[in-house]
Structures are given as C-alpha cells and as structure tokens.
Structure 1
Amino acid sequence: MKFQLKMINPASLALAVLSVALLQPLAFAQMQMKPGSEAMPDGKASTSSMQGGAMDMKGMDMKGMMKDNNDKMSSMKMTGNTDVDFAMMMRIHHLGAIDMAQAELRDGKDPQMTKMAKAIIAAQKKEIAQFDKFLAKNGQSVDKMSK
C-alpha cells in the first residue's frame, strides 16, 4: 500500500492556521461568559456591562471585545502578500489581547490572572513593535490600521 502526499499551498496553510488561532479564543471566551455579561446581537455590550452609559472599550465585556477585534480583522483589506497579511492580522489580534488584559487588570481579582495579564501586555507590545517594523519595511503604514 502506497500513500501519496499532496503538496499544500503554504499560503493556504498559513491562512488556515491563522483562522484557527484567531477563532479559538472567541470560542473559549464564549464558554467562559458569566450570566448577565452577554453582548447584544449587534455587538454592543449590554447595559449591565457599561460604565456610565459610555460605549467604549472600557465598558465592553470580554465577548464584546472579541467581537470588535474580529470585526476589525474581517474588515481589513488583504494585500495578497501572506507575510504582510499575517503581520497586519496578528497586529490587530495582539491589540485585542492587550485590551482584554487591561480589562483584567482593571476588574480582575485573582493575583495569578492579573500577573498573567501584565505578562501578556508586555509580550504583546513587544511583538506588535516587531510587526510594525516589518510592516514599515514592507511599505505598510501602521497609522492607516485601526487600533
């Protein structure tokens, strides 16, 4: 019995891996939702999660943050250059991780989770700087990308 392996397009494989990596945290966040903190169907946070009626990142729950982050990624115009597209998407993904970690620092109580949030912020900022450098080198303006 002979097995024949087909070659997989590296760009297709990279996009598939990136898709799984980006959607997995959303599925995990949905499993971790506490009652009363659900986002509204239009993506806005429920009034129970708003602070003073303000609809900014500080007032959104974790699920709302993930939806906002995924909306930014899915609306991003792709260049067709896998390396550039990866860097742009991961930059947005990392900014979302920082937003969530900052929410943990603001509202979290568990010392282990706040310690992890601090480590995540430091690591993600370092990687964002690397993405920014790569994108600038490849003619992509970071200023044009939404934060």
Structure 2
Amino acid sequence: MSPLAQAQASASATASKSPMTGMAPMASGGMDMKSMMKDMNDKMASMQMTGNADIDFAMMMRIHHQGAIFMAQAELSAGKEPKMKKMAKDIISAQQKEIAQIDKFLAQHGHPMDKATK
C-alpha cells in the first residue's frame, strides 16, 4: 500500500472509529479529551505527506475535523451545560459537511477515501 493510501486508510479508520474506542473514562463520567487530542495529533504527525499542498491540507484537515467530531460527541454524552451541548451539535454538523467537501475534493483529484480502505 502506498504511503498516501496508508494515510487515507488511517483517516478513514478514524472517521469510522467510535469516539469511545480507546478513550479512558474520567472520574466525572466524561471522556478523556486530552487522549482524543493526542490520538488526533498522532494520526496527523504520522501521515505521509504527498508533496501536494492541496492534498496534504485536505488529508490533515479531515483528521482534524474528525477529532473535533469525537470531542463534540463526548460533550453530548457527558456534558451538562445546554450552551455547550448546542455548540457540540453545531460543531458535529459543520465538521461533517466539511468532511464531505474534503472527501469530494480528494475523490475528484484521484485520492478517494474509499480506495484507501480496499
């Protein structure tokens, strides 16, 4: 598998991974958001760059946006404040739309996300 395909597979796996997988519950019943951030940063740091700024940006932002979704899902699961829960819902909606745009861009430029998972 090429380095780009490996990075796409990692990003695709991240997109389908439950936000609860591998995350340590906190004493408050919430999720360890620091672990979520570390996981996202590790995925971004290990991504093989292609040398194409547009593709590299799209791949990195996809991982970043998926991390934001996981954190927002954790807030919905354990948060108490209505304003923060609304913000989490808004973040999920916005980030999912942007991930769809990123996936469309990658597919149009010969880097479809589904190709990486085959």
**What's the CA shift for 1:132?**
0.2
Q: How does 1:51-62 map to 2 (within 5 A)?
A: 60-62=31-33
Q: Which position in structure 2 is the counterpart of 1:49?
A: 26
Normalising by structure 2, what TM-score? 0.72
* Residue 103 in structure 1 maps to residue 77 in structure 2: no
How far apart are the structure 2 equivalents of 1:117 and 1:107? 11
Percent identity over the alignment?
68
Q: Which position in structure 1 is the counterpart of 2:65?
A: 94
Q: Which position in structure 2 is the counterpart of 1:39?
A: none
Q: Which position in structure 1 is the counterpart of 2:5?
A: none
Normalising by structure 1, what TM-score? 0.58
How far apart are the structure 2 equivalents of 1:75 and 1:98? 20
**What's the CA shift for 1:141?**
2.8
Q: Which has the higher contact order (CA 8 A, sep 6+)?
A: 2
* Residue 66 in structure 1 maps to residue 32 in structure 2: no
Q: Which position in structure 2 is the counterpart of 1:134?
A: 105
Kept in 1, the 8 Å contact 2:75–2:88? The answer is yes
Computing the radius of gyration from Cα coordinates, the structure with the larger value is: 1
**What's the CA shift for 1:65?**
0.1
How far apart are the structure 2 equivalents of 1:86 and 1:92? 10
Match of 1:113 among 78, 81, 84: 84
State the number of aligned residues: 93
Q: Which runs of 5+ in 1 are unaligned?
A: 1-43, 51-58
